[in-house]
Amino acid sequence: MILDREDPWFRDLVADLVGFHDRAELLARRDRVLAALPKLRAQASELVRAR
């Protein structure tokens, strides 16, 4: 068995588990996470106040 950075297993793993097939998809998700931060921050403030 030969493994390297381009091993298809790793590409399949990433595609199957987090849905990325290429860099564009990863960067788009990165942007979605960044866009979600204000909402997550508001939710976190609720948790802090509730405790």
Partner 1 sequence: MAGAVPAKPGKVLYGGVLVEVTFVAWSEVATAAALSFHLAPSFHGDHVLGDPTGHLARLRREIEPVFAAQRADRVAAVFAAIGSRLSTVDPERPWPELVTSWLFPTSLTAVVPLVATLRTPTVRLRYSAARSVLAPPRYEELLVLLGCADVPREVVAGHLDRLSAVFDRAAAVVYTPFLFSADITTAARPVRSTAAASLSSAVTTARRRSGSSRRPHGAR
Q: By the criterion CB under 8 A, which residues form the site for partner 1?
A: 1, 3, 5-6, 9-21, 23, 25-27, 29-30, 32-34, 36-37, 40-41, 43-45, 47-48, 51
Contact (CB, 8 A) for 25 and 19 = yes
Shortest Å distance, C-beta 26 to partner 1: 6
CA distances from 30 to 3, 6, 17, 27, 49 (A): 27, 22, 16, 5, 29
Shortest Å distance, C-beta 47 to partner 1: 4
Query: What is d(CA 35, CA 29) in angstroms, rounded to the nearest whole number?
Result: 10
Shortest Å distance, C-beta 21 to partner 1: 6
